[in-house]
A and B are shown apart, each in its own frame.
Chain A
């Protein structure tokens, strides 16, 4: 510590002394000293320590797990929240130890996704369950962003883990409820339909054809109701991963042809025109694919109230069977076209009240096509119409490429 000669301040210095020797005789002739004011250095060190403490406080206060990894995906930092969740020490969580908190069934999938994203420098996101320190199993969504230094070198990842157990439970409850509700709704509908059909037969037999006609229209409305209930049920199955497929080989064009014949009766205004190329056999769930095609054609009819035809084309393009439904109706604008396959998405704006429906059909159709290994897409021009297409891979019995 020294005292400044002019200001009288007392402050610490770093004192570097050297002994000066006579270059010829080697006898010491003096001592030189350099003193460095330590105050700036100490202030900087303190500022750094304060910042580190602040960072620690912030990351501990966050109710979310926070983490950092190096370029290879080994964890280099976890915050106190994660340490508390994992019931392991800070050190045990570094490297690849963090994954031990993950429920065994989910561990491989989650770790593999992480390493895959790190290798490809992707935005990382995955859901998994952890064995929480309090003994319960909690659902988390982990996400992370790749980090780059000022020279654009990849330096690793920074990310978070958010506890989503509440949302998951609510979603499960909702799905369970809708499942039960659909079943309960179908019960009275079944007896109504039975009564309706008996009545129709009795009236027809008695020659009361006008009355029989009315009952027949009632029956069609019941079918519409059944279809809406079915859609609700399908959505909960999709959301909880319980959608089952009964795959079989069937003639694609034949399915489309039969379906178009049936659906033609639903519209007096539109003519359903078919344009078939040879497509051969497809391996998939016939009922579900029928559901998708019905959805596309009924949408085409629904959204082109002022047109008089709808064109349905099938084609075979290198291993894929393709079906396109073209309508000449209201079309879909550029900004909305990405969203039509979303759950609950419906036409909005002035037209909102003119077009009935739950907004589930396209969502269900796209999920079905995706799970059967195909693709679904749409092209459209506002005011001129839309073309919805889907493709399905073709397999023949030997699983070779299609002819």
Chain B
């Protein structure tokens, strides 16, 4: 499951991951993740700066909720400097934009095997 407020990124990353054999769901609206109650993803890719919503807050929320607390979350951001605050929000990992496919795939494999 990818959440990012840019449709270009959702499309490109979606195609990329599907080509590599993953099933991908995507959403432009980060807050919709808070009301998930079935069909949980095996991994969440969350953008930090989405219009009006901070991915770190969503991450914190999901981690606190026992139903969603075990889903691995990778936070993505255009700024590498906020890696620390991303990890402090409970994220399992962090990736800076723009990223190499190989780095993304490596992280996904790490958390879904």
A190 contacts B by Cβ under 8 Å: yes
* A246 within 8 Å of B (CB atoms): yes
Specify which of B8, B9, B12, B81 is in contact with A198 (CB 8 Å cutoff): B12
Q: Which chain A residues (166-223) contact chain B, with CB distance < 8 Å?
A: 182-183, 186-195, 197-198, 201-202, 222
Query: What are 6 A-B contacts with C-beta separation under 8 Å?
Result: A187-B6, A187-B78, A188-B8, A190-B99, A193-B99, A198-B101
What's the minimum C-beta distance from B56 to chain A, rounded to whole angstroms?
16
Q: How far is the CB of B107 from chain A (nearest CB, A)?
A: 15
Residue contact A194 to B101, C-beta cutoff 8 Å: yes
Residue of B nearest to A226 (CB): B98
A-chain residues with CB within 8 Å of residue B9 when the two chains form the complex: 187, 190-191, 194
Rounded to whole Å, the gap between the CB of B108 and the closest CB of chain A is 14
How many chain A residues touch B (CB < 8 A): the figure is 24
Tell me if B98 and A183 are in contact (CB < 8 A).
no
For the complex with contacts A182-B78, A190-B6, A190-B97, 5 further pairs of A-B residues with Cβ separation under 8 Å are A183-B78, A186-B98, A187-B78, A192-B12, A197-B16
Would B49 and A197 count as touching, CB distance under 8 A? no
Q: Which residues of B59-113 have CB atoms within 8 Å of chain A's CB atoms?
A: 78-81, 83-84, 97-101
Q: Given A188-B8, A197-B100, A246-B84, is A183 in contact with B19 using a C-beta cutoff of 8 Å? A: no
**Residue B15 is within 8 A (CB to CB) of chain A in the complex:** yes
CB distance from A215 to the nearest CB of B (A): 12
Q: How far is the CA of A28 from the CA of B91 in the complex (A)?
A: 112
**B11 interface contact, C-beta 8 A:** yes
CA distance A211 to B41 in the complex (A): 35
Distance A244 CA – B100 CA, assembled complex (angstroms) = 24
Q: B28: CB under 8 A from chain A?
A: no
Contact A198 B16 (CB under 8 A): yes
A216 to chain B, nearest CB (A): 12
Interface band, chain B: 20 to 34
| Contact residues in B for A192 (Cβ distance below 8 Å) | 12, 98
| B12, A189: Cβ atoms closer than 8 Å | no
Q: Could you tell me which B residues sit within 8 Å of A by CB distance? A: 6, 8-9, 11-13, 15-16, 19, 49, 78-81, 83-84, 97-101
B52 to chain A, nearest CB (A): 15
Q: A residues touching B (Cβ–Cβ < 8 Å)?
A: 182-183, 186-195, 197-198, 201-202, 222, 226, 233, 237, 243-244, 246, 287
Q: Are B6 and A191 in contact (CB under 8 A)?
A: yes
A341–B3 CA distance with the chains assembled, in angstroms: 41
Contacts of A226 in B (CB 8 A): 98
B49 CB contacts on chain A under 8 angstroms: 183
CA distance A201 to B15 in the complex (A): 12
Cα-based distance from A31 to B88 in the complex (angstroms): 101
Say whether, besides A189-B98, A191-B6, A244 and B81 are in contact (CB < 8 Å): yes
Q: Which residues of A contact B83 (CB under 8 A)?
A: 246
Closest chain B CB from A18 CB (angstroms): 89
Q: Given A186-B97, A186-B98, A187-B9, do A198 and B15 touch, yes or no (CB 8 Å)? A: yes
**Interface pairs A-B: 3 shortest CB-CB:** A194-B12, A191-B8, A191-B12
Asked whether A195 and B97 contact (CB < 8 A) given A183-B78, A183-B79, A287-B80, the answer is: no
How far apart sit A226 and B49, CA to CA, in the bound complex (Å)?
18
Query: Smallest CB-CB separation from A184: which chain B residue?
Result: B78
Residue in B closest to A197 when the chains form the complex, CB atoms: B101
Task: Enumerate chain B residues within 8 angstroms of A183, measured Cβ to Cβ.
Answer: 49, 78-79
Determine the distance from Cα of A194 to Cα of B18 in the docked complex, in whole angstroms.
Answer: 12
Question: How far, in Å, is B51 (CB) from chain A's closest CB?
Answer: 12
Minimum CB distance partner of B100 in chain A: A197
Distance of A287 Cα from B101 Cα, bound (Å)? 20
CA distance A187 to B78 in the complex (A): 8
Q: Kindly provide the distance from the CB of A379 to the nearest chain B CB, expressed in whole angstroms.
A: 32
Quote the shortest CB–CB distance from B2 to chain A (angstroms): 11
Residues from chain A with a CB closer than 8 A to the CB of B12 are 190-192, 194-195, 198
CB distance from B42 to the nearest CB of A (A): 20
